[in-house]
Amino acid sequence: MTLIIILGLSAFLFSLLGTRLLILALRRRTFMLDKPNARSNHLNPTPKGGGIAVVMALVICLVQADFSYGVLFSMLLLAAVSLLDDLLDLSPIVRLLTQALAVCVPLFLLDKPMICDWLPLWLDKLIIGLAWIWFINLFNFMDGIDGISATEMICISLGLCLIMVFADHFPGDIFTYAMILGAAACGFLWWNWHPAKIFLGDVGSVPIGFLSFYLLLLAHEQGFTAAALILPAYYISDSTITLVRRLYKRKKIWQAHSEHYYQKAVRGGRSHDSVARYIFGINLLLIMLATLATLSPEVAHIHISMAYAIVFILLGFFTHHRKNPAHEPF
């Protein structure tokens, strides 16, 4: 237990201090400034690339926790290519191929089906791989306002930790990994809370989305499937509904836009911090439902349905109670 506490504190401090150093180093580098445009939700040029500190904090601490080297390799690969994307704006094909390669590394190590025992192993891996790539991208899509992704990281981590405690899997691998992720997120949130002094950038959101899915996959493997589906319900719902709507309108889904529910809320007059707090509240409900599903597995399907129904209802409330319909970035 002492080692777990030390790793958590180390992840927090590495992320907190590393991000501060990045702010000092990047704010004079114009090529690493995120400059406002018509789709932006911020007014002033802000350094991007804060994910460098978060990813390094995660890698350093996860190594000490006997984490999978294959997953760490994939995280670093994604971070490196995503940093190039932040600098050079790589093509979607290059990004997608890199994500596919990163996902293939841990999937190659799987020796049994994860979804259904009757599925061929290759098909099982293909389905998981596609879902993993989608989760990486939706996490990246959702990183559009101050504090949102750090808040989501904290909530997924907190949910996993609580579930492991209630299920008597404490201490354990998932608890340790989730605590490290949540602690690193807290360190970054100190600088990313509105008004943000630095953004994650693709270098942070892409590998962190990859890692978050891996932890949820581990939870599923250990029998906590309902919790793994419930905890990321807000991010999954907002991004998927938005994608379907854009497909229906025949818009290019790979292009940057500002049509997510959280973006509409900010453009409708809500401040970044109020939106982040609202999302935190939704996630607390999801954590509660995930815990109930863990304690009562015989009715877990009901809790899963309730989770997505509640998120759908609250998303509508998000955009229909606007203080000011004009676009006012904060």
pLDDT at residue 324 greater than cutoff 70: no
Q: Indicate the length of the chain as a whole number.
A: 330
pLDDT at residue 107 greater than cutoff 90: yes
- Buried residues in 257-266 as b, exposed as e (16+ CB within 10 A): ebebbbbbbb
- Cα–Cα distance for residue pair 274/135, rounded to 1 Å: 25
pLDDT at residue number 269: 81
As a whole number, mean pLDDT of residues 3-29 equals 92
Do 290 and 226 contact (CB within 8 A), yes or no? yes
Backbone angles phi, psi at 34, to 5 degrees: -90, 105
pLDDT at residue 316 greater than cutoff 90: no
pLDDT tens digits for range 218-261: 999 999 999 999 999 999 999 999 988 888 888 877 677 778 88
Show the tokens assigned to 217: 């996959």
As a whole number, mean pLDDT of residues 18-22 equals 95
Structural domain spans, the chain: 2-320
pLDDT at residue number 27: 77
pLDDT at residue 192 greater than cutoff 70: yes
pLDDT at residue number 42: 56
pLDDT at residue number 8: 95
pLDDT tens digits for range 258-271: 788 888 888 888 88
As a whole number, mean pLDDT of residues 106-121 equals 86
pLDDT tens digits for range 53-63: 999 999 999 99
Closest CA to 233 of 282, 268, 271: 282
Closest CA to 264 of 320, 205, 199, 312: 320
35: left (phi over 0), alpha (psi -120 to 50) or beta: beta
pLDDT at residue number 329: 37
DSSP state of 195: S
CA atoms within 13 A on the CB side of 137: 23
pLDDT at residue 294 greater than cutoff 50: yes
The mean predicted confidence, pLDDT, of the chain is 89
pLDDT tens digits for range 147-189: 999 999 999 999 999 999 998 887 889 999 999 999 999 999 9
Do 180 and 11 contact (CB within 8 A), yes or no? yes
What percent of the residues of the chain are helix, what percent strand, and what percent coil, each to the nearest 5? 70, 0, 25
